Amino acid sequence: MGHEFLELKSTSAAIEAYRTAVDIDPTDFRAWYGLGQTYEIHQLYDYASYYFANAALSRPQDSRMWSALGECYQNIKNRDASKCFEKAEKFKDTEGIALFKLAKLYVSMDEPEKASVC
């Protein structure tokens, strides 16, 4: 349900639906991920990172969870962003963007030698 509400741009209803899903099944990575996406849309990256972290814990070998968490961490200047992008790559980055984001992150951190390895 949360995804449908998000498509309709009804974020408050989406949040309520995702929270209900998490209450019913705390291991539902889709609900955690959906909450992360919803807060990310509103640029509330601290909240989004909390939900993406739970999604990653619920599905630790899914590169999408780690990429999403890495992006949030990057937005709030959390240095753990690099670890998230590395994990996404380790788990066969399905979107194929983790290494690019990691290199870009290293460049922004003025670490070109690390960026060149990506």
CB atoms within 10 A of CB 19: 14
101, pLDDT greater than 90? no
What is the Cα–Cα distance from 77 to 61, expressed in whole angstroms?
24
pLDDT of residue 118: 62
What are the pLDDT digits (tens) for 13-51? 999 999 999 999 999 999 999 999 999 999 999 999 999
Indicate the pTM of the whole model. 0.84
Structural domains of the chain ordered from first start: 1-59 (1.25.40.10), 61-118 (1.25.40)
